[in-house]
Amino acid sequence: SAKRSGRSTFVWYTSEMDADAQKRKEIEAGLVKALRFGQFELLFQPQYSLTDNQLKGYESLIRWNHPTKGTIPPDVFIPVAEETGLIEQIGDWVLNRACQEAVSWPDQTLRIAVNVSGAQFSAGETQKKVAKALRETGLDPRRLEIEITESLLISDTDAVVETLQQIREMGVAIAMDDFGTGYSSLSYLSRFPFDKIKIDRSFVQNLGEDAGTDAIVTSIIGLGRSLDVLITAEGVETPEQVTLLRAAGCDMVQGYLYGRPGSVEAHEEHRARLGYNRAEFWDENDDLV
Ligand code: C2E
Ligand code: MG
Ligand code: MG
Ligand code: MG
């Protein structure tokens, strides 16, 4: 009967929701322990300039090394951290750890990029937290870059603009991450202060395979030019993608082709072993990495 199927539907949804809620609770409890017992780790992924083919810096990417479940990726636990408010403590740890790491590098010209999610960003607090991390670690503000996403820009615009402006006034750069995947209109680009736009991996991965994607990427790069903003392509995996990005005038690249997230020591060893110190991994004389 209708009543019966209605009830069984209800039961089905309920148990699904219970399973989700239970899973979230489990992750939440785990995150509290992770903070207490130091189970988080930052990995670093290199970012190269296509203009001079040199390494310019690294993006920091968090991992949770769970004692029994192994390494848990951020896509699994960052949303729970955001819902529960634990993102605040995790974010503080990330910011300090990233700055500390960059201070320890032999090459003090390299930059460090740090992800700050929308739920973590607070108009009142983020500027203070950035200032505190810089003060405590002694990192030159010009070496720090904060990556935010479009989702931040649809809310409370005036306060957000003001905070981003304050952060930039300290000398820290602002990058717009995952560009092209959000819901915002292009109009915010002129209202919000940015130094860099990162083209989302979903576009980069279809480059050369679909004319529509090629047109979008070319447009974003053109937009960056007119706004005087640097463009980074993320998720670069093939030399063909680099050729197209280079031809379109893209400024910077990041992706598995250049290195997966890892320790900076491992990246440096890899570069030294191959004798490479540049973004051009595929010219006539060199084998592809
Ligand atoms: P994101 O900031 O857009 O980072 C890029 C993601 O793409 C990373 O995934 C990176 O490992 C992956 N990636 C890079 N190059 C390639 C490639 O060539 N191919 C493929 N298939 N993937 C590539 P990851 O490390 O799993 O991070 C996922 C997302 O989690 C990040 O996206 C960022 O939004 C968030 N996240 C990571 N670390 C932090 C953090 O410390 N704080 C906050 N709030 N969010 C973080
Ligand atoms: Mg990022
Ligand atoms: Mg991204
Ligand atoms: Mg992302």
ipTM of the complex: 0.98
Inter-residue contact 170 to 130 (CB < 8 Å): yes
Q: pTM for the whole thing?
A: 0.91
Exposed (0-12), middle (13-18) or buried (19+): which is 107, by Cβ within 10 Å? exposed
Task: Return the pLDDT at 123.
Answer: 77
Give residue 232 CA to ligand 2 midpoint distance, Å: 11
Give residue 9 CA to ligand 2 midpoint distance, Å: 39
Task: Return the pLDDT at 229.
Answer: 94
Residue 94 CB–ligand 1 contact under 6 Å:
yes
Structure tokens belonging to residue 72? 């848990």
**Mutation test of ligand 1: which of 61, 116, 145 has the most ligand atoms closer than 8 Å to its C-beta?**
61
Residue 177 CB–ligand 1 contact under 6 Å:
yes
Provide CB contacts within 8 A for 274, sequence distance 6+: 289
Task: Return the pLDDT at 234.
Answer: 97
Q: What pLDDT tens digit does each residue of the chain (289 aa) get?
A: 444 444 444 555 566 667 788 889 999 999 999 999 999 999 999 999 999 989 999 999 999 999 999 999 999 999 999 999 999 999 999 999 999 999 999 999 999 999 999 888 887 899 999 999 999 999 999 999 999 988 888 776 888 889 999 999 999 999 999 998 876 667 777 788 899 999 999 999 999 999 999 999 999 999 999 999 999 999 999 999 999 999 999 999 999 999 999 999 999 998 888 766 556 654 434 444 4
Structure tokens belonging to residue 106? 């032999």
Q: Whose CA is nearest to atom 8 of ligand 1?
A: 61
Inter-residue contact 177 to 153 (CB < 8 Å): no
Exposed (0-12), middle (13-18) or buried (19+): which is 113, by Cβ within 10 Å? buried
Exposed (0-12), middle (13-18) or buried (19+): which is 9, by Cβ within 10 Å? exposed
- Tokens 């092209």 -> residue: 180
Write out the residues surrounding ion ligand 3, Cβ under 5 A. Answer: 177-178, 234
Residue 235 CB–ligand 1 contact under 6 Å:
yes
Structure tokens belonging to residue 108? 């003090």
Inter-residue contact 118 to 152 (CB < 8 Å): yes
